[in-house]
Homo-oligomer: A and B are copies of this chain.
Amino acid sequence: MAAVEIVEVGPRDGLQNESALVSTEAKIAYIEALIAAGARRIEATSFVHPKRVPQMADAEAVMAGVPRRDDVRYLGLVVNERGLDRALAAGVDEVNVVVVATETFSERNQGMSMEAALRSFAAISGRAHAAGVPVTATIGAAFGCPFEGEVAPATVAELVRSCADAGADEIALADTIGVGVPADVERLIGEVRAVTGLPLRFHFHNTRNTGYANALAAVAGGAAALDASAGGIGGCPFAPAATGNIATEDLTYALRRSGIASGLELSGVVAAATLIEAELGTQIPALLGRAGDFPVRSAAHSRPV
C-alpha cells in the first residue's frame, strides 16, 4: 500500500492567522486530540516575535505543556537565530525555516532579501545540526507570489539547491497563496528532483479549490510528506486572501479512498477539528465533519442491474 506522512500544521499555520486568541490550554488540547487521531509529526508553534504574530506568543508554554512521547515529533517554525535559540531551549524535535522564492515577498514576510534569508538559513541550519536537530527548508511562494505573480520552477529549483547546499534535511514546497494546479506540482517536482534527492514535503492552501488535487498529485509524484491542518484553518497574515490550509480530515478521506495510508484515523481528526472550531467560534472550512464519512466497504451491497 502506498503511504504518505501528514505533518499536522493546524497548531502553527492553522492558528497563526486567526484573530481569536486561543489559550495555551486549548492549543495543548488540540495537539493531544491530534495525537489521539494518529498525528505523529506536528508543527506545534512558531518562535517569532510576539508582536508580529501574537497568536504564537506562548510558544514556550505550548512546548512545555505538550505530551512527550518517543513516537511524536514536534516541529517549531523559526525565522532567525534568536528564534532558533528559543526553539532549542523549548526542546523542539525539528525546526522549519521558510525561505521565500521572490524578493518582494521575502522582504514583506521576513524583512530581508532572499540572499540574506539564505545566509540566515545556513546559520540556523548549522547551529540546529550542532544541537542534533534536523532542519526543513520551506520554500514559500513556490507556486506563485501575491506581489510578483508567476514564479518560474527553475527559480524554485535553484533556491532548493542553495538550501540543500546549506544543510537542509528536507525540502517543503509551499503554495502559500493557493494558486497552483496539479500540472504545476508535476512540473515543479521534475525541476526539483533534478537538483536534489532530499525528501520532499508539500504545503498546500485550498484558496482556489485546487489544494486537494495538488496534494494527490504530489503523492503520485513521490512526495514523502504533506502538510495539513485539522479543520482546514489557517492562512498567512502577510499574503492577501491566503485562506486555509488543506484540511487534515478531508485529506485523510481522499487518501484513504485512494488506497494511500496516512496513519490518521478520520473520526479522531474530525474530533480535533471540532474542538478547535469551538475555540475559534467560526465555521471551519473542512467539509468531512459536515458531510460525514463514506466508509470503504465491500461492494456486496450494490446489486447488479
Contacts and interface: CB of A to CB of B under 8 A. Distances in A.
A183 B241 contact: no
A155 B102 contact: no
Contacts of A207: 287, 291
A210 to B, nearest CB: 5
A296 B178 CA distance: 14
Chain A facing B: main interface SS: loop
Contacts of A290: 241, 243
Given A101-B302, A305-B159, A288 B145 contact: no
Contact of A258 (B101, B114, B183, B296): B183
Nearest to A179: B294
Contacts of A145: 301-302
A210 B152 contact: no
A304 B154 contact: yes
A22 interface: no
Contacts of A287: 206-209, 243
Interface in A199-228: 206-210, 212-213, 216
A183 to B, nearest CB: 5
A254 to B, nearest CB: 5
Interface string A145-167: 10011111011001100100000
A130 interface: no
